[in-house]
Amino acid sequence: MVYIVKTLLLIIVFGFLFLIFLFPEIREYKLLYIFSMWQCIYECLFPIWFFQGIEKMKYIAIFSFIGRVVFILLIFIWVTTPQDYLLVPLINGIGAIITSLIAIYILIYKFKIKFRWQSLATIFYHTKDSTKLLLTSITGIVKDRTNTIVIGSVLGMGEVAYYDFEKNETLKENSINSNQLIEDYLVGRVTFYVSGPLWRKRFLNNRKELF
């Protein structure tokens, strides 16, 4: 069921992607935006919610490491000139898809997960039940990205690059992004304890409602 909802959301995101091409400033870099959509496909395929729910966080760390190693190796092999900048999101996408497929393989063969189509009533129920968490995540993203969008629309992409650089330098001063760590920890804990009976009895044994 999670994959069904994520796929529907991915289709909506692709729709918005083509709408933003109406802006001339963005249309100039349309290939970069299209190639960067690999990251959205990764978010759709990679079952981070599953590993958080069963508290097997080591898989997330392992897959993240594999993806970064593949990314770095291919960057050194293929990206040799500034004109190769379009290869960067493509290479990132290759690493993301590889790790996602490995994760799905583990779901099927190690955890014996079987994917089934769910009824519209089941999809609607779980989607509605997760609306508050979705709105909270969207609010955080809008808060973080509004400055970038405004600067890009008013001043230009060069100023956006300077802004991102300064923001990243500020984040580097704090070696640990505590907000993200706290969010990941709480999501895993809340999923495990609040939905414990569902995960243990239905998810891990029957695996029908969520898959």
SS3 assignment for the chain: CHHHHHHHHHHHHHHHHHHHCCCHHHHCCHHHHHHHCHHHHHHHHCCHHHHHHCCCHHHHHHHHHHHHHHHHHHHHHHCCCHHHCCHHHHHHHHHHHHHHHHHHHHHHHCCCCCCCCCCHHHHHHHHHHCHHHHHHHHHHHHHHHHHHHHHHHHCCHHHHHHHHHHHHHHHHCCCCCHHHHHHHHHHHHHHHHHCHHHHHHHHHHHCCCCC
Percent of the chain at pLDDT > 70 equals 76
Residue type, 102: I
Q: How much is the pLDDT for 172?
A: 55
Q: What is the pLDDT of residues 18-33, one digit of tens each?
A: 777 777 767 777 888 8
Q: What is the mean pLDDT of residues 126-143?
A: 75
Q: Give the mean model confidence (pLDDT) for residues 75-94.
A: 87
pLDDT tier, 74 (very low <50, low <70, confident <90, very high otherwise): confident
Predicted pLDDT of residue 125: 80
Rounded to an integer, the average pLDDT of 48-68 is 85
For residues 77-90, average pLDDT: 87
pLDDT of 52 reads 84
Pseudo-torsion of CA 98, 100, 103, 108, nearest 10°?
A: -100
Q: pLDDT of 95-123, one tens digit each?
A: 888 888 999 999 888 888 888 887 888 87
Average pLDDT, the chain: 75
Residue 40: is its pLDDT beyond 80?
A: yes
Provide the b/e sequence for 148-182 (b: ≥16 CB within 10 Å).
eeebbeeeeeeebeebeeeeeeeeeeeeeeeeeee
pLDDT for the residue 84? 87
Q: Are the beta carbons of 102 and 66 closer than 8 angstroms?
A: yes
**Local confidence band at 38 (pLDDT 50, 70, 90 cut-offs):** confident
Q: Between the CA of residue 157 and those of 35, 87, 165, what are the distances in Å?
A: 18, 20, 12
- Average pLDDT over every residue of 68-87: 86
pLDDT tens, position by position, 152-207? 667 776 777 777 777 666 655 554 455 555 555 555 555 555 455 544 455 455 45
pLDDT for 208 = 47
